[in-house]
């Protein structure tokens, strides 16, 4: 995943000025354009002192604010203009500069722009962003609707396997005018509460049936990681603002706030009641303990952004995945990789251990690892052999999140194609499916395995009865 911010920037200032951020490639392009425009203006001034035959066309934008304010306002790029300066003493100079569309088009596409920028952060390269740039005039909602028909045709007897919705949590919990997109969610260990993270940085704690209990506000941008500890006393959150916060649920206030990463917090996970790991786009993993102001360990783990991390059920190993298309299994005590998995053909978005194997409630079942990638595949890995036992390929858009059932027998996958599928992990086939009106971002089983929470782009959380 491309870096989304200059690591030397103040996190809060960065979020305030540019909440969606830019990739390195975008930032480099804008800096080049700004520099080119400034050079052009300087050249034009020099020429005006020598000749009166110069013809200049200057963009209407304030170039000093272009790299920040103007890019935040523009919602869709429709093309590029060539700015030419001709003189008797100089050669022809072409300066390319992006142009914004009118207010009507901006309003029309503002919601999609916001969502796709969030997806870019979560998925690494932002496959949706690339497609929109390639075809800026395309009706994106229609394109996904066409995918729906393809998905239905690819799954036999889909109507026989649809899940039952037992509750819907609507995005009325978010302030008016703010993005209601839910970026993360996690069931409490006892299954009584649901923590929901939003694009605007807020966290809502609800009952299992969706009633709002209270909200936590300290982050300045989208929540990309949200995890209860094993006894439910603390909630761990990570955000685009580079903060990691340990929340005391009893007081509803931060217990600790960490700012040791130089990049966006991409994911986090508890090892036990007090010890947890975090990962970032800065390519590092940190190991922290509640009450300690600084990390116990911190090391570079991948060559590109680390997108997700998970402790094995017994806490012995830590799995990480990255935009470098690899999955690594770590012995944290030695800061050493004991296994590296390389079958995916593109950036890896998420990973999850099964709750099976030694030290779990299902010790006689094999420990498995599930992963999803921008190559549109989901893989189930046999850790003992280091090879995938199944490659699941029914989704037609990236699978943003996966979750094993508590007994390890089923795997739920949530995708931008609007479908959540529940798979039989032994046979590698779909058992049940559910289609939402909007793309899906996260999925999580409750403790008993009879309910599945799924979040969608429009901020709705579906509680599905299995």
Here the CATH number for the domain that contains residue 268 is 2.130.10.10
Distances (CA, A) of 225 to 72, 234, 236: 25, 14, 8
pLDDT of residue 252 exceeding 70: yes
Maximum Cα interatomic distance, the chain, rounded to a whole number of Å: 87
Kindly state the helix (H) or strand (E) to which residue 63 belongs, with its residue range: helix 63-65
Q: Which residue range is the domain that position 70 belongs to? A: 1-138
Task: Note whether 282 and 217 are same-domain residues.
Answer: yes
169, two tokens: 């949590």
Instruction: Report yes or no: 305 and 323 within 8 Å, Cβ to Cβ.
Output: yes
Which residues 6+ apart lie within 8 Å of 360 measured at CB?
313, 314
Instruction: Report yes or no: 412 and 400 within 8 Å, Cβ to Cβ.
Output: no
Q: Is residue 424 part of a domain?
A: yes
Compute the average pLDDT of residues 93-105.
38
Measure the CA–CA gap between 280 and 224, rounded to whole angstroms: 10
The pLDDT, as a whole number, for residue 466 is: 84
pLDDT of residue 6 exceeding 50: no
What rounded mean pLDDT belongs to the chain?
74
pLDDT band at 253 (very low <50, low <70, confident <90, very high): very high
Q: Is residue 174 part of a domain?
A: yes
Task: Note whether 187 and 92 are same-domain residues.
Answer: no
11, two tokens: 């996190």
Task: Note whether 203 and 264 are same-domain residues.
Answer: yes
Task: Note whether 355 and 433 are same-domain residues.
Answer: yes
Could you tell me which residues are beta bridge partners of residue 214? Answer: 205
State what percent of residues in the chain have pLDDT above 70. 63
Please write the tens of the pLDDT for every residue from 310-326: 999 999 999 999 999 99
Measured at the alpha carbon of residue 55, what is the angle toward residues 49 and 57, in degrees to the nearest 5? 115
The pLDDT, as a whole number, for residue 176 is: 52
pLDDT of residue 406 exceeding 60: yes
pLDDT of residue 125 exceeding 80: no
Please write the tens of the pLDDT for every residue from 356-373: 998 899 999 999 999 999
Please state the domain count of the chain: 2
Count of residues for the chain? 466
State what percent of residues in the chain have pLDDT above 90. 55
Measure the CA–CA gap between 143 and 148, rounded to whole angstroms: 9
pLDDT band at 44 (very low <50, low <70, confident <90, very high): very low
Q: Is residue 148 part of a domain?
A: no
Q: Is residue 144 part of a domain?
A: no
Measure the CA–CA gap between 382 and 385, rounded to whole angstroms: 6
pLDDT band at 170 (very low <50, low <70, confident <90, very high): confident
Measure the CA–CA gap between 216 and 442, rounded to whole angstroms: 20
The pLDDT, as a whole number, for residue 169 is: 78
Measure the CA–CA gap between 127 and 441, rounded to whole angstroms: 14
Q: Is the dihedral of CA 53, 55, 61, 67 positive or negative?
A: negative
Task: Note whether 281 and 324 are same-domain residues.
Answer: yes
Please write the tens of the pLDDT for every residue from 200-239: 899 999 998 888 899 999 999 999 999 999 999 999 999 9
Q: Is residue 26 part of a domain?
A: yes
The pLDDT, as a whole number, for residue 122 is: 41
Instruction: Report yes or no: 310 and 321 within 8 Å, Cβ to Cβ.
Output: no
Measure the CA–CA gap between 263 and 2, rounded to whole angstroms: 11
Q: Which of 112-121, 258-267, 311-320, 330-339 has the lowest mean pLDDT?
A: 112-121
Compute the average pLDDT of residues 248-257.
97
Burial class (CB in 10 A: 0-12, 13-18, 19+), 278: buried
Measure the CA–CA gap between 122 and 118, rounded to whole angstroms: 6
Task: Note whether 79 and 179 are same-domain residues.
Answer: no
Task: Note whether 270 and 364 are same-domain residues.
Answer: yes
The pLDDT, as a whole number, for residue 236 is: 98
**Domain end position, chosen among 104, 138, 172:** 138
Q: Which of 15-29, 63-77, 128-142 has the lowest mean pLDDT?
A: 128-142
pLDDT: which is higher, 454 or 66: 454
Measure the CA–CA gap between 192 and 40, rounded to whole angstroms: 63
pLDDT of residue 199 exceeding 80: yes
Task: Note whether 263 and 328 are same-domain residues.
Answer: yes
**Domain end position, chosen among 138, 161, 181:** 138
74-88, 105-119, 197-211: which is most confident: 197-211
Measure the CA–CA gap between 374 and 66, rounded to whole angstroms: 31
9-23, 109-123, 184-198: which is most confident: 184-198
* DSSP-based helix, strand, coil % in the chain, nearest 5: 20, 40, 40
Q: Is residue 203 part of a domain?
A: yes
pLDDT band at 42 (very low <50, low <70, confident <90, very high): low
**DSSP strand pairing (318-322 vs 410-415):** unpaired
The pLDDT, as a whole number, for residue 403 is: 97
Task: Note whether 134 and 165 are same-domain residues.
Answer: no
Q: Is residue 168 part of a domain?
A: yes
pLDDT of residue 392 exceeding 70: yes
Compute the average pLDDT of residues 30-55.
45
The pLDDT, as a whole number, for residue 71 is: 39
**Domain end position, chosen among 111, 138, 165:** 138
Please write the tens of the pLDDT for every residue from 264-285: 999 999 999 999 999 999 999 9
pLDDT of residue 50 exceeding 50: no
pLDDT of residue 435 exceeding 80: yes
Task: Note whether 91 and 200 are same-domain residues.
Answer: no
Task: Note whether 133 and 163 are same-domain residues.
Answer: no
The pLDDT, as a whole number, for residue 9 is: 36
Task: Note whether 184 and 214 are same-domain residues.
Answer: yes
Q: Which of 297, 299, 261 is CA-nearest to residue 282?
A: 261
The pLDDT, as a whole number, for residue 295 is: 97
Q: Is residue 9 part of a domain?
A: yes
pLDDT band at 425 (very low <50, low <70, confident <90, very high): very high
């Amino acid at each position: 995943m491309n870096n989304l911010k200059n690591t030397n920037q103040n996190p809060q200032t960065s979020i305030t000025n540019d909440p969606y951020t830019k990739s390195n490639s975008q930032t480099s392009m804008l800096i080049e354009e700004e520099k080119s425009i400034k050079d052009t203006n300087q050249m034009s001034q020099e020429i005006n002192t020598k000749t009166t035959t110069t013809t200049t066309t200057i963009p209407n934008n304030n170039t000093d604010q272009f790299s920040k304010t103007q890019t935040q306002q523009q919602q869709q790029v429709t093309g590029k203009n060539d700015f030419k300066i001709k003189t008797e003493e100089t050669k022809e100079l072409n300066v390319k500069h992006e142009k914004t569309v009118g207010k009507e088009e901006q309003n029309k596409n503002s919601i999609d722009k916001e969502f796709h920028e969030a997806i870019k952060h979560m998925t690494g390269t932002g496959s949706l962003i690339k497609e929109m740039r390639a075809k800026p005039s395309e009706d994106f909602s229609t394109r996904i609707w066409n995918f729906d028909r393809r998905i239905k045709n690819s799954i036999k007897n889909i109507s026989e396997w649809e899940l039952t919705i037992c509750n819907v949590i609507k995005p009325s919990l978010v302030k008016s005018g703010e993005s209601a997109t839910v970026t993360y969610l996690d069931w409490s260990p006892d299954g009584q509460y649901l923590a929901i993270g939003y694009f605007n940085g807020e966290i809502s704690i609800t009952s299992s049936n969706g009633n709002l209990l209270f909200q936590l506000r300290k982050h300045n941008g989208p929540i990309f990681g949200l995890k209860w500890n094993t006894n439910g006393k603390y909630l761990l959150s990570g955000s685009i603002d580079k903060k990691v916060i340990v929340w005391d649920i009893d007081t509803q206030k931060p217990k600790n706030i960490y700012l040791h990463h130089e990049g966006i917090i991409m994911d986090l996970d508890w090892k036990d009641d007090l010890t947890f790991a975090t990962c970032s786009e800065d390519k590092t993993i940190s190991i922290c303990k509640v009450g300690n102001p600084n990390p116990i360990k911190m090391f570079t783990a991948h060559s590109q952004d680390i997108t997700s991390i998970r402790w094995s059920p017994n806490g012995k190993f830590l799995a990480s995945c990255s935009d470098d298309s690899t999955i690594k299994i770590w012995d944290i005590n030695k800061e050493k990789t004991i296994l590296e998995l390389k079958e995916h053909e593109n950036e890896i978005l998420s990973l999850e251990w099964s709750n099976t194997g030694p030290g779990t409630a299902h010790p006689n079942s094999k420990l498995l690892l599930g992963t999803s990638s921008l190559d549109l595949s989901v893989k189930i890995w046999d850790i003992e052999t280091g090879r995938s036992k199944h490659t699941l390929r029914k989704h037609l858009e990236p699978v943003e999140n996966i979750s094993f059932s508590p007994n390890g027998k089923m795997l739920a996958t949530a995708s931008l194609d609007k479908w959540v599928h529940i798979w039989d992990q032994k046979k590698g086939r779909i058992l049940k499916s559910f289609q939402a009106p909007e793309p899906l971002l996260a999925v999580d089983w409750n403790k008993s395995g009879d309910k599945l929470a799924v979040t969608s782009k429009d901020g709705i959380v579906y509680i599905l009865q299995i």
